[in-house]
Structure 1
Amino acid sequence: MEDSSRRKFLQNAGLASLVSISPLTEEPERASELFIHHVLFYLKDPNNAQDEAKLLEGLKKLAKVPQIQFVNIGKPASTSRSVIVRDYTFSWMCFFKNIIEEELYQTHPIHDEFRRDYAHLWEKVVIYDSVGPKKLS
C-alpha cells in the first residue's frame, strides 16, 4: 500500500473508531460546532532569536495539517491594559470544522513531528479550546 493511501486509510479508520466511541454519537450537534484551538507558547529562553525563529519554522510546518480551516501565528500585541497577557512568545490559533477534525489534527503525523522536533524549545504551553456555533445570530 502506498504511503499516502495507507495514511488516508489510517485516518479514516481512526475517524470511524472515534465516531463509534465518541459522545458525539449521542450529541450530534457537537459535530457541527466550530472548534477553536488556541495555544500560547513560552520559550525556555525568550531572548534567544534563533530559538524563536526555529519555533516559528515549526509552527509554519504545523499549519499544513489539512484539517485546519484557518490558522494565525501571532506575537503579543503592543496593547497595554491590566487584563492583557503579553508574556508568551507565540500565539497559535487554529479553527476546525468540528471536534472530530481537531482530534484528527491531534494525531496527524505533522503534529507528532512538531511535538517531537520542537518541544525542546518551550518551557510551557497554555491551551484554550473552545466550541461554538459556526454562525453567530
Structure 2
Amino acid sequence: MKALEKKLVHVVNFYLKPGLSEEDRKRFETGISSLHTIDDITIFNVGKPAPVVDSPTIDKDYDYCMLCVFENLEAHDRYQAHPVHINFIEQCKQYWSRVVVFDSETI
C-alpha cells in the first residue's frame, strides 16, 4: 500500500465584533473569499456555523470558519507571506475580535 503524502491543514475560526453592519460583514466575506486566489492553496472553503442539531460537542460560537489545505509546510509559509493574505489581514482585522487557528499535519 502506498503511503499518502502529508498535507498541512489550516483551519481558522473568526469571531467578528458585535454590532457590525451588513455592509461590514459583506466586506469581510469579500476579503476572506479573495484568499482562494492564492495558488499554494489546494483546497479552500469558507463557511458559517451549520444549522445542525445542538450537541455538547458542537461549537457554534464563531462567525466564520476558513479551511485551507496545502501540499506541505513550505506552501503554507508562502501563503502566510503572500500579498493577498497580508492585504486581507490589513483590510479586515478591524472586523474581528478574536481569531483561533488550528494547523495540523495529516497522518
Query: Quick check: TM above 0.5?
Result: yes
1:33/1:97 contact within 8 Å kept:
yes
Does 1:65 find its partner at 2:21? no
Greater strand percent: which structure? 2
Task: Report the AA paired with residue 86 of structure 2.
Answer: D
CA contact (8 A) 1:76 1:86 kept: yes
Paired position in structure 2 for 1:38: 11
Q: Which consecutive aligned stretches of 4+ in structure 1 deviate over 3 angstroms post-superposition?
A: none
Counterpart for residue 12 of structure 1? none
Relative contact order higher in (CA < 8 Å, ≥ 6 apart):
2
In the aligned structure 2, how far is the partner of 1:69 from the partner of 1:77?
23
Residue 99 of structure 1 deviates from its aligned partner by 0.7
- What is the CA-CA distance between 1:53 and the residue it aligns to? 1.1
Q: What's the offset of the Cα at 1:47? A: 5.6
| Equivalent position amino acid for 2:57 in 1 | V
For 1:125 and 1:49, locate their aligned partners in 2 and report how far apart those are by CA, in whole Å: 20
Root mean square deviation, CA, Å = 1.3
Cα distance in 2, alignment partners of residues 47 and 83 from structure 1: 28
Partner of 1:50: 23
Greater gyration radius: 1
**Higher helix share goes to which structure?**
1
Corresponding pairs, count: 102
Q: Work out the CA distance in 1 between the residues paired with 2:82 and 2:91.
A: 14
The alignment partner of 1:87 has SS state of coil
Letter of the 1:87 partner, please give it. Answer: D
Fraction of identical pairs, as percent? 31
Q: CA deviation at 1:46?
A: 5.7
Whether the aligned pair in 2 keeps the contact of 1:41 and 1:126 (CA below 8 Å) is: yes
Choose which of 35, 43, 61 in structure 2 pairs with 1:87: 61
Structure 1 residues not aligned, in runs of 5+: 1-31
Distance 2:97 2:38 in 1: 24
